[in-house]
Amino acid sequence: MTTTHILGFPRVGDKRQLKFALEKYWRGEISQQALKDTGSTIRAVNWQTQADANLSYVTSGDFAWYDHVLTTSLLLGNVPERHQSERITLDTLFRVGRGRSQSDCGCGAAASDMTKWFNTNYHYLVPEFKADTQFSIQWSQLFEETKQAMEAGHSVKPVLLGPLSYLYLGKEVETGFDRLSLLPRLITAYQQIFTKLENLGVEWIQVDEPILALELDKEWRSAFKLAYQMLGSKTKVLLTTYFDSINHHLDEITQLEVDGLHVDVSQNQNCLDEIIEKLPTDWVLSVGAINGRNVWRADLAQWLDILTPVQQQLGERLWVASSCSLLHSPVDLELETQLSAETKSWFAFAKQKVDEVSLLGQALAGSTTAIAACREYSEPLRARAQSNLIHKTHIQQKVKALVSGSSERAAPFAERIAAQAEYLKLPLLPTTTIGSFPQTADIRLQRSAYRQGKLGETEYNQALKGHIEDAIRRQEAIDLDVLVHGEAERNDMVEYFAELLSGFETTQFGWVQSYGSRCVKPAIVVADIERERAMTVEWTRFAQSLTSKHMKGMLTGPVTILCWTFPREDISRQQIAQQLALALKEEVSDLQQAGINIIQIDEPAIREGLPLKKSEQAEYLDWAVNAFKLSASSALPQTQIHTHMCYSEFNEIIESVAALDADVITIETSRSNMELLNAFEEFAYPNEIGPGVYDIHSPNVPSTEWIKNLIKKAAEQIPIERLWVNPDCGLKTRGWEETEKSLTNMVTATKELRKEYTK
């Protein structure tokens, strides 16, 4: 029998049960026990899903109340001093993730820094390290949940973030030391964790070391050998990597004292030959064939052909698995009642991917029934490949003609900024927001009623106009300089455009966790993309008619739409981005004609799309930058193009950020205390910048002094005449009360500083 397993299962529940329970708990509407009961139910269902599919192991330790890296920090007792108390509790975890307001204890404390998990749209809480950081087991969640799964009768494989990846993904919060120096101390804590798992009767531990997919320097590579020598686990260790090949580190990996290796081959099975050749004879090889990051059905017939000779060579040492945790997939395709039978036959969500792993394992074990089922399972993919969904010739020709021409703006920045200053007449330190305003209960109820046919289109549009006018009046009262319409009509910054562009499918329950209780519902690219009508013009024109202040048009950029949807796998990501850029270019033209002369094209995901290996990044950055520039190329000199980026560590891509040639870039910087601006100072970024002056992911209301200090810190690095003032990100998830208080403080701080800087 071929051993089968997955690396993790979605933790939010098939209908986002965890999200709703978390938010109720944070609002004080349910008890902590009720919250824990919800988590327990989700875990039990997840384990039973894996057991029902006859996987060899169910995975424990993949559940997190906010983020699995944060869970690891609590397990190790590594809690920032500002959030420490006598003992670590669930509320400690939430304070680290969300911050602590003045009302909690009379002393506010910022949430920990949050950034993207490799090249995904998942966010993790960045561990913080000091020279005297100590590690010891202080949070028992991993052991309690592993014991619960075992008591339920399951064969259990716990998952744990590895020590080197934990250190690498963190940051030093004091100068003068290297966090790698903490490794011996950290390994001691990991030895204690392994011992506790061994005492529970665990046979295998899945130790995730995803940084092995990166191109690590010698110091970090050498640290792996030391770490795994010191661990000396009696329980078997499956060293787990994902998101890219690890062949460049293979000689060093195969020297480690572990018992098996998991590799992600979902996008590149060609790396298998070398891995098999160098695999120690007593190791198992877990092959991640089932793609955990996309929703397309696996071609099981093809994988059976690829892995059969591997199975013949390795025998029982071959394991079959998902490529990575299924955290990055929606939960259950069976819930999708509005997709056609043909369309559903193309897809597999997490629950279906579990079945794919199981079926492929059975086929490799020699089951003739499973072999036939694999062949039959792949037929819809074969049929789709022969359908007319592949290429619309006229779109390809339009894209080819535009890409071969120039995507540059009509004038260089120096000329554009002069034209914009004359036309827009904005004050020093212009204030604005990133785009969205609170999606209130009324907005959500009206949208739901409209989708269910309970509210007519005319009535729904009138309701939306009311919300837009309300947002504008509030902004005018706060006295912001550049207004936005608030995006009441948008369910999501990507899904909204996916529903209006041809070539996409959207889902009802295709939710994927982004962080904490925040979930997104990525659309799926199924065909060539085309703009059939204007998407934002009507709403933006209406908003502009209500105010004499400048209204900012809001678009989501081509690379972000690409990264935050599930892409096709039959054409390149570059081709998809070019099709999106063409559609957005047409939208920019229509917004200009409607009198909108400030247009924001958001690209928060541009760094997220980077290949993990630096040697492969230049090609991506080239076409990603060109896609953005193509989308903005129809803008006239007096039209000011903004872009927004969040959780982007800019240092390594600053030249490409500058090459976007946006007139204004707004970025998230408050959690890092403006540290991200160092990249812009050292590079001498030429255009205008709006560093975020407060963290919208925390419910805390920033004080006027806090904001003034951040603006002053930004002014030390960026000339004051090139600075904008804005929040870190959109305000969709916040409430109006905290939003208005925060923005009022932001405007007050800005006005006070204008007086200081113009004396």
Q: What residues does 238 pair with on adjacent strands?
A: 206, 260
Q: Do the annotations mark residue 123 as ligand-binding?
A: no
Residue 404 has pLDDT above 70, yes or no: no
Between 315 and 685, whose confidence is greater? 315
Q: Each residue of 240-257: pLDDT tens digit?
A: 999 999 999 999 999 999
Q: Each residue of 83-106: pLDDT tens digit?
A: 887 688 999 999 999 987 544 444
Query: Annotated catalytic residue: which of 262, 467, 642, 697?
Result: 697
Residue 612 has pLDDT above 50, yes or no: yes
Q: Do the annotations mark residue 467 as ligand-binding?
A: no
Q: Each residue of 578-607: pLDDT tens digit?
A: 999 999 999 999 999 999 999 999 998 888
Q: What is the mean pLDDT of residues 123-139?
A: 96
Tokens of 497: 């455009």
**Burial level of 184, CB count in 10 A (0-12/13-18/19+)?**
exposed
Place of tokens 């260089």: 412
Using CA atoms, how far apart are residues 223 and 233, in angstroms rounded to an integer?
17
Q: Each residue of 255-291: pLDDT tens digit?
A: 999 999 999 999 888 899 999 999 999 999 999 999 9
The two beta strands, 123-125 and 114-116, are antiparallel
Q: Each residue of 550-584: pLDDT tens digit?
A: 999 999 999 999 999 999 988 899 999 999 999 99
Using CA atoms, how far apart are residues 753 and 706, in angstroms rounded to an integer?
13
Mean pLDDT of the chain: 92
Q: Do the annotations mark residue 707 as ligand-binding?
A: no
Tokens of 495: 């899904």
Q: Element (H or E) spanning 368, and its range?
A: helix 368-377
- Phi and psi at 624, nearest 5°, equal -65, -45
Q: What is the mean pLDDT of residues 350-368?
A: 98
Tokens of 396: 């390809």
Using CA atoms, how far apart are residues 75 and 22, in angstroms rounded to an integer?
20
pLDDT at 481: 98
DSSP 278-320: HS-TT-EEEEEEE-TT--BPP-HHHHHHHHHHHHHHHGGGEEE
Between 295 and 700, whose confidence is greater? 295
Residue 403 has pLDDT above 90, yes or no: no
Q: Could you tell me the sign of the dihedral formed by the alpha carbons of 477, 479, 480, 482, in that order?
A: positive
Using CA atoms, how far apart are residues 2 and 53, in angstroms rounded to an integer?
14
**Burial level of 312, CB count in 10 A (0-12/13-18/19+)?**
exposed
Tokens of 1: 């029998």
Q: What is the mean pLDDT of residues 376-381?
A: 93
The answer to whether residues 195 and 207 touch, using CB atoms and an 8 Å cutoff, is no
Length of the chain: 759
Residues 6+ apart with CB under 8 A from 182: 129, 133, 135, 167
Buried b (16+ CB within 10 A) or exposed e, 79-113: bbebbeeeebebebbbbbbbbbbeeeeeebbbbbb
Q: Element (H or E) spanning 690, and its range?
A: strand 688-691
Domains in the chain and their CATH numbers? Answer: 411-758 (3.20.20.210)
Q: Do the annotations mark residue 344 as ligand-binding?
A: no
642: annotated active-site residue: no
Q: What residues does 260 pair with on adjacent strands?
A: 238, 284
Q: Each residue of 152-161: pLDDT tens digit?
A: 999 999 999 9
pLDDT at 681: 67
Q: Do the annotations mark residue 270 as ligand-binding?
A: no
Q: Do the annotations mark residue 19 as ligand-binding?
A: yes
**Any idea of the CA torsion for 458, 460, 466, 469, to the nearest 10 degrees?**
-90
The answer to whether residues 539 and 496 touch, using CB atoms and an 8 Å cutoff, is no
